[in-house]
Structure 1
Amino acid sequence: MSHLNSDKVTIHLWIGNNFSSDEEYKNYFRQFEGIQKDPLNPKPRCLFCADTGNIAYMTENLIILEKFSSPENMDFVINKVEVNENEKKKIIQK
């Protein structure tokens, strides 16, 4: 069994608000299934992947927060993500 050291975990926080509906927001993260036409030049599997420069993401490593209906204070967003309390100041500063 492996042990996860929570002090060594990197969290990437993506912030965006260009969605008119909850469905559009969910579709942004939805990865398409199927075989890539050109395996030597793979294309991103979703719009989120394209924006972040990744081919795909592992669903078990991504936490998607609910779409907020209006802009929120950054502290509110950080408090929605479970992180070590000592790290919150560092995250907000970055």
Structure 2
Amino acid sequence: MDFLIETLIMIVGVVVGYCLLKVNEHKRILVASLNNKVQLIAVALIIFIMGINLGSMENFAHKMITMGLQSLVFAILPTLFSVIVVYIFSRLFIIKN
């Protein structure tokens, strides 16, 4: 059910964005400015709520170390494999002079 609501919200946003193409430039700039402010407030609210959730965890320091190590692995592995794949494909498909 949540996926459906998120999808509908995204579709409404796309439709509103498309309708803004038909609006004059002055109104479009005002709406874009308002949109930027709303996004900033929403992101700040999300970060605040995440902080509350993290602060209310038991063993917060231990979990942060575990999550940090997992994040490091999830960052290094895709980067490493991307470099390897690009290296292999560049050796196979790039014509040398």
Q: Which has the higher contact order (CA 8 A, sep 6+)?
A: 1
Say which one has the larger Rg: 2
Same fold (TM over 0.5): no
TM-score (norm 2): 0.22
Considering fraction of residues, name the structure with more helix.
2
